[in-house]
Every structure is written in structure tokens, then in C-alpha cells.
Amino acid sequence: MSTPAQRVAILFPADSNLLLATSLEQSRFAETAAALRAAGIEVVAAPYADEIATDVRERLSTVDGVLVWFNPIERGRDRTVLNAMLRDVASQGAFVSAHPDVIDRIGTKEVLYRTRSMVWGCDTSFYESADAMRSGLPASLRSGKRVLKQIRGQSGDGIWLVALAHGRDDPTTAPSGDALLRIRHAKRGSPEEVLALDAFITRCDGYFRAAGGMIDQAYQSRLPEGMVRCYLVRDRVEGFGEQLINALYPAALSAAAHTAPEPGPRLYYPPTRADFQRLKDMLERQWLDELCSAVEIDRRDLPLLWDADFLYGAKDANGADTYVLCEINVSSVYPFPADALVPLAMATRARLAERR
């Protein structure tokens, strides 16, 4: 008697009008479902919205695993209800990837602070409250441009380039609350603004209430050279993305701030791209172990699909590129290179086998 195929749900945002009638085959995850089926896995569609959480939970009671594609903020709502449901599903024996607990460890901007002493780290502070930001940001602005990031978010929301509007007249003295800043939001189409420091901190109040805090990082001067995204299936890099004109890309030298180009497309490459092999090797052989140690998770608990974004740091003594971690994406990694489809299906099958 043959063993029945194990069942894995793909959880993704439901159409706001169709809810449970949302079709997996007409969604962006149709090829993912096909790859899983080719690996002998039965696929269950689980379009999700908070309004139908009870119905989705019942559907997930019949599966052996759940692959989740759902943003930290979707249609103005966070994942509080969804995460509680996924934790419940996992407690009943199904695997969930990415599990909310793993997202908390590596899938928020706080990972930049927790891993700041790693080779991929840079000058980084964490503000858990507006008062902490009011105390710490003036001093960090003395070092030059900063990038402020809300702990949870996507698509540039809550990410700001911040600098003193008039430079550093006295680098030994922290600017006062009425000092003028030049700020630019990373959301597409946002213009540069001039705002007082206290007014900017007030504007960020919502990030402390909803997102849990803000990260303050040194601006990376090589940002105009592009950003490299490593797509990982568990602990293996299975593809790359490269975005040459990205969020916060500066205007040309001496040009007006509003002429800064809009972000360009992300281009996708197989894991064999020659000039990224050193980065791939460092990530797989060294940095993943250091990451797991820093955030206290087991390497086997890394998500089935996730990505890490890197900016170029200063060249080393031999003229080789170094890399600075920009963020880790875990909640909803899409799109991703087609090269990752088969490895994702194989890793899902292996994850199911671990449950037996």
C-alpha cells in the first residue's frame, strides 16, 4: 500500500473581494505549486485575510506544512492575528516556514543591531523609544549621513536618509532639537525635505508604537554601485538579485535633490554568477553560523526561502569588495529567481521527511 502524499499549504494574501475563492493557479505562486507537486507533494491553497482566519485555520489543520508569503504590513494591518494562528498550527505538529519566532529573530531590522559586530556589520544603533532616539540621534548625526529604519516594514516604508542640512559646523557638539535636517523617505517617489530634528522624531512616533523601534545605521557611500540580494533555500544560496538604482540613490553631483532617479528593476541571476562567488562562499561558510549564534537559532531552523540584501562596503587592503548587511527578508520573499524553485521543492520535501 503506497504512502499518501504529504500536504503542504501555500499561504498568501487573499484577494480583497474573493477571499477564499482566490485561485492559487492564477496567483504568482502557480509555478511554486507546480514545483512542489513535481516533487510528490500535495499542495493546498490557503489565501489568507484576518476576516477569514478561522476558516483558514481549519484548512491548515489537514496539512503537514505551511509555506507563508505574507508581508509584515498587508492592507494596513500587521501580522498579529496571522502569527498567532501560525504558532497554533506549528504547535500541532505541522512545520511553518517562516515561523513567526524565526521572523522575530532574523526577519526584522533589529537583526542589523544584533549582528553589528559581524564582518557584515557597521556603525549601528537601536532606538526602542522616541526618547531613546531623541537622546541618541543627535550624536550619531555628527558622524555624517544616517539611514533610519523602522523595525518592521517593507517597500521602503519607514526608511529615511537623514543628514544635517548645514553640515557639521562643530563636530564636537551634538545638534539641538531645532537643528535642520535634510530627510528623504525611501518609499518610491518621495522628495527630499528640510525638517527640524525634533519634528522628524515626532514624525517617527508611529514606528515605535506599531513597529517596535528604529535602527540607525551609517550611510554607505558606495550605495550608487548597487545592492546585491542573495536568495537562500535554508543554508544554501540558490540565486542572486542585483538592483543598480535602489532606494535612496542620490542625485547626480551638484544636481537638485528631486532629480534623484527612481529605483530600477531587480535583475535575477543563477547561483553560479562568477563575480558573486566570494560573497556566496562567505555567507554559506562563515556568516550563517555567526548569524545563528548571534540570534540564538539553530541552522536547521533557517527558513526554507529567505534573502539577504548587501550594500558594498569599503574595499579591503587587497582591493576586494566588502559587504554591509542592509536587511534580511523572510516574511514574503517574492519574486525570486526561477533557479530557486527546484531547490525550494527539494528542501520542502526534506523538511517533511524530518517530521516522520
Per-residue pLDDT tens over the stretch 267-289: 999 999 999 999 999 999 999 99
pLDDT per residue as tens digits for the range 115-156? 999 999 999 999 999 999 999 999 999 999 999 999 988 878
| Phi, psi dihedral angles at 202 (to 5 degrees) | -60, -40
Alpha-carbon gap, residue 217 to 210, rounded angstroms: 20
pLDDT per residue as tens digits for the range 298-349? 999 999 999 999 999 999 999 999 999 999 999 999 999 999 999 999 999 9
pLDDT at position 169 over 80:
no
Alpha-carbon gap, residue 158 to 139, rounded angstroms: 21
Confidence (pTM): 0.93
Q: Please give the full DSSP string across 98-159, using - where no structure is assigned.
A: T-HHHHHHHSSTHHHHHTTTSTT--SEEEESSHHHHHHHHHHHHTTS-EEEEESS--TTTTE
Nearest CA to 99 out of 32, 28, 178, 11 is that of: 11
CB-based contact 58:3 (threshold 8 Å): no
Our CA angle for 102, 103, 104, nearest 5°, is 90
pLDDT of amino acid 166: 82
| Phi, psi dihedral angles at 104 (to 5 degrees) | -60, -30
